[in-house]
Amino acid sequence: MKTIIIRQLLATILLALTCTTTLAASLKIGLNYPQTGRYSDQGLQQRLGAFLAVDEINKAGGVMGQPIELVIRNTAGEPERGARNTAELIDRERVNMVFGGVSSAVAIASGKAARERDRLYFGTLTYSNATTGEEGHSHMFREPYNAWMTAKVLSQYLKTHHGDDEYFYITSDYTWGWSVEESVRRFTNTDDKTTHGGVTTPFPRALITDFRQALEQAEASGAKVLMMVLFGDDMVRAINVAYEMGLTRKMQIVVPNLTLGMARQVGPTIMEGVIGGSPWVWNLPFEFNYPRGRAFVEAFSSRYEMRPSTAAASAYSIVYQYKEAVERAGTTNTRAVTRALENHRYSFLKDEQVWRAFDHQNVQTVYVVKVRPRSDVVADEYSSNFFEIIDAMPGDEAAQTDAEWKLRREQAGKPLAL
């Protein structure tokens, strides 16, 4: 009798442990970002934003009772490594979705690896039109704007203030750079390369000498607008050289995709007056009264003692958007979550956004920003009041139409539906 009681007790304990394990089983998601390489600052911001979102969600009860577990991998900004990481995160770590990336080439390669394994991939900082255009597919969602949207909002401002000026382009030689230059030329009417010259710089291993040679050509061109289609450390190095050469005083510098991290790395003295595009900056929710955006900035600033960049906001938003899509679907099944995302409208860190169904592009308001004088920048508690918002465009006006998207797909020999 005693033996039977002991067996029953052990069985009860085992059942209780099994139930506890099942209830506590985590919902894994994978962050695939550059810990090292030219885009490591933007990568760090993604990680900080993602961890903040995960901690907040878990403190609030997780996703359908399951805590989120964030599994990270370093892409080093290399497409092949990004794809391998994605495969490993899904095959070995059993994550339910993957997000991240700074280079569009990395995002595209990683997204394909996710599609092969029937998992969603969310592009966190990927601006090439190709990500949700020619290379778009059913398993890729892009949270930030693309090059087309960047170009539309910048051209609105530049045609008003620099409509008669000559441009010179310095472009990073890979899919993001090509995409941005093509789009900006199109919408600023500067596609005549005889009048509006340009040069490419190597990616991902451009040297200071590459940037100096490119800037010497820009100076010799006599152009009034210098379009620096460079990102991360490449932009930082190039603009420091431009400052040494005196070009920041002779030309209007435009950085199409400008982030807080890049501005901080260079510093306010050199960056003053630089113009760029952005889907979000930390002062936006305070200036336009977006409560959830303010709460994010305050939580991030308090936790990390710095202001969040676009990269942090994008990663933070993706984690919450995935959580809510899973809850609407009632499952982590990829197809069901996809349906829950498509055409979903929401307001989170800014005004209304929508995950568009036909291309999985996040359509949202886009902005032109200008770097403030040094005295304004350092007046902020974290010396980060860099950006004055000087223009904006609604997402529906900035984004490609369905017909424009289908034309690009047709020209690339791709199906007209994801």
Q: Which of 59, 113, 63, 61 is nearest to 85 (CA)?
A: 113
Q: Which pLDDT value is given to residue 18?
A: 38
CA–CA distance from 43 to each of 46, 75, 120, 241, 346 (Å)?
Answer: 5, 9, 20, 24, 26
Reduced to 3 states (helix: H, G, I; strand: E, B; else coil), residue 224 is: coil
Quote the DSSP letter at residue 129: G
Q: How far apart are CA 293 and CA 51, in angstroms?
A: 17
Cβ distance 32 to 86 under 8 Å?
yes
Q: Which pLDDT value is given to residue 121?
A: 98
This prediction's pTM: 0.92
pLDDT tens-digit series, residues 155-184:
999 999 999 999 999 999 999 999 999 999
Cβ distance 42 to 27 under 8 Å?
no
Q: How far apart are CA 222 and CA 211, in angstroms?
A: 17
Tokens of 224: 């009034």
Instruction: State the pairing for strand pair 345-347/352-355.
Output: antiparallel
At 302, the amino acid letter reads: S
Q: How far apart are CA 179 and CA 4, in angstroms?
A: 73
Residue with tokens 């490591």: 40
Cβ distance 261 to 240 under 8 Å?
no
Q: What stretches of 300-365 adopt beta strand conformation (E)? A: 345-347, 352-355, 362-363
Q: Which pLDDT value is given to residue 4?
A: 42
Instruction: State the pairing for strand pair 140-142/97-100.
Output: unpaired
Q: How far apart are CA 38 and CA 276, in angstroms?
A: 19
At 98, the amino acid letter reads: V
Contacts of 9 (CB under 8 A, 6+ apart): none
| The listed CATH number (3.90.79.10, 3.40.50.2300, 3.20.20.140, 3.30.1240.10) that belongs to domain 22-147+288-364+401-411 | 3.40.50.2300
CA–CA distance from 284 to each of 53, 291, 313, 329, 385 (Å)?
Answer: 19, 11, 12, 31, 11
Alpha carbon 164 to its chain centroid, in Å, reads 32
Provide the residue-wise pLDDT of the chain in tens; the chain has 418 residues.
444 444 444 443 344 443 333 334 899 999 999 999 889 999 999 999 999 999 999 999 999 999 999 999 999 999 999 999 999 999 999 999 999 988 899 999 999 999 999 999 999 999 999 999 999 999 999 999 999 999 999 999 999 999 999 999 999 999 999 999 999 999 999 999 999 999 999 998 899 999 999 999 999 999 999 999 999 999 999 999 999 999 999 999 999 999 999 999 999 999 999 999 999 999 999 999 999 999 999 999 999 999 999 999 999 999 999 999 999 999 999 999 999 999 999 999 999 999 999 999 999 999 999 999 999 999 999 999 999 999 999 999 999 999 999 999 999 999 999 9
Q: Which pLDDT value is given to residue 137?
A: 98
Question: CA dihedral defined by 92, 93, 95, 100, rounded to 10 degrees?
Answer: -100
Cβ distance 409 to 415 under 8 Å?
yes
Q: How far apart are CA 179 and CA 195, in angstroms?
A: 20
Cβ distance 252 to 200 under 8 Å?
no
Q: How far apart are CA 93 and CA 105, in angstroms?
A: 23
At 252, the amino acid letter reads: Q
> Concatenated DSSP letters for 290-313?
-HHHHHHHHHHHHHHSS---HHHH
Reduced to 3 states (helix: H, G, I; strand: E, B; else coil), residue 317 is: helix
Domains 22-147+288-364+401-411 and 148-279+366-397 share a fold: yes
Map out the domains of the chain as residue ranges: 22-147+288-364+401-411, 148-279+366-397
| The listed CATH number (3.40.50.2300, 3.30.70.1280, 3.40.50.720, 2.40.160.40) that belongs to domain 148-279+366-397 | 3.40.50.2300
Residue with tokens 């630089």: 274
Cβ distance 181 to 218 under 8 Å?
no
The helix-helix angle for 40-59 and 310-329 (nearest 10°) equals 40
Cβ distance 175 to 105 under 8 Å?
yes
Cβ distance 43 to 82 under 8 Å?
no
